[in-house]
Structure 1
């Protein structure tokens, strides 16, 4: 059985024709929101589908699971990895105002909890290193690069040598080869991280490049390479992870770097602004 077929939804599609009508009803519920398996007991899941608990037990055995708990563990692993499919709730009749309020409260909690977790000494250490670095590279893949771009967009105004990686058409080696202890890397690794991140950070560690690692609370293996680690809360009441706390922390980080660099950052920013006007780039 392939890795894809071994997932819950893959197994359902593979065995669909062999399922009874009641089992297919249960399958429809799980295909719509497979994360329900992680959150519900077998009895609760059976009730939501309008089938018996015995039907639920047979269903998972037909799919090749040893037990309901085995399937549930797999679903929880998928949730922990950040799969949007497994984070998606069942359709709810809740009024939009209630959904918006719940979402807002969760976003506020993410910001508050992330800032409470910040350690001033660690943050100051990273800020000092960034302010003194000859070159700063900011790395991230997939949705992590969106956060990396936020950092790059701020730092490029105050630091003379900032680079965003990976760049289209380039290999990492072409950029990592030039880095050493006098440089600095900011690595962003939100859940569903690509293996390339850990590999790149391993190379940077070998080259003694100081690293700041920005991640969710389950920071994963790459954290072991970094001198400084900032973990932000990303849980959401809806399908996609929240990035509001990360955005705020990135703003704080870059602003503190500008403050630490003092006149050097102000002088560089003044040159940038003068060139904006000279080139007529901005309204």
Structure 2
């Protein structure tokens, strides 16, 4: 059956799924069948040959080849490379098939646990002890600490702040909903430390914010995954956390461990002071009756 979708050049940045959805209603029944198979688990495309995809969809290889050309791809391999890029970029949509080969629930859980442990071990083994204590000292004695994270990385920044605020004051969590960064970055200088969280699927705003802070002389700690990307060159210190997952989401165990470790080291650094923020906060907790 010949394709009903007229081939045309797609936007270079358009994802596979957006190309399909934009033309789905104009496709033939056979093409829609192929589309449904792809959209159900686009990550499989990164591993399948054109013949394998055609077989799983119950269509001919020729139909599959015409289908991708109609979507604006030069070839099936080009679409496959895009799928691989999306998978390596951490898109859950392209990783939802992970773990499908595990039929035994206990084996699946054990595999997941083993990977979590491996991520922790590899991350801690990669740390420089000298750098780690230098980071803790800088965070402890900075005039102000700025925490920046977008999307999932902000969840980590919030966790970092919830620990750090117990041992020192003047911590700023960005971005503030509804505000831009400029007003908050304008007063920063070399006396301040910025902790920037940039796990994969980073937003471009992070790199721009880090570049602005570097120009202001701010000391920057960048916490990321192993593929830290371009923002790493803007930081004084970089911690690369191993985040490989066995299922559709990246592992957070090493990131949580590093957060706990660094905040604890900052608290230890400040513990020798006569009057500590931690002690003062505990007195106020009691006065305010905040904790059971």
Same fold per superposition (TM over 0.5): yes
Tell me what 1:248 maps to: 257
> How big is the shift at 1:22?
4.3
- The two structures, once aligned, show a CA RMSD in angstroms of 2.3
Q: Does 1:226 align with 2:235?
A: yes
Please name the residue that 1:75 is paired with: 83
- Count residues in correspondence: 283
From 18, 26, 34, give the equivalent of 2:42: 34
Structure 1: gaps spanning 5 or more residues: none
- Residues 150 and 131 (structure 1), Cα distance of their counterparts in 2 relative to 1, 3 Å cut: same
What is the deviation of 1:64? Answer: 1.9
8 Å CA contact 1:216, 1:233 repeated in 2:
yes
Please list the CA deviations of residues 151-207 of structure 1 after superposition, one character each: whole Å capped at 9, or x if unmatched: 111111111222211123433222212211011110001111112111111110010
Residue 225 of structure 2 corresponds to which residue in structure 1? 216
TM-score (norm 1): 0.91
Once residues 3 and 217 of structure 1 are traced to their aligned partners in structure 2, the CA distance between those partners, rounded to angstroms, is: 30
Return the alpha-carbon distance in structure 2 between the equivalents of residues 64 and 168 of structure 1. Answer: 38
> Structure 1 residues 178, 23: closer, same or farther in 2, change over 3 A?
same
Q: Distance in 2 between matches of 1:185 and 1:78?
A: 30
**Which stretch of structure 1 is more off in the superposition, 171-180 or 144-153?**
171-180
Alpha carbons 1:34, 1:75 under 8 Å: kept: yes
TM-score by length of 2: 0.88
Residue 266 (structure 2) aligns with = 257
Structure 2 residue aligned with 1:150? 159
Deviation at 1:31, TM superposition (A): 0.1
Q: In the superposition, relative to structure 1, how do residues 51 and 237 fare at CA in structure 2: closer, same or farther (>3 Å)?
A: farther
Q: Which secondary structure state, in structure 1, belongs to the residue aligned with residue 276 of structure 2?
A: helix
Please give the residue correspondences for 1:4-15 in structure 2 after superposition, counting only pairs within 5 Å.
6-15=14-23
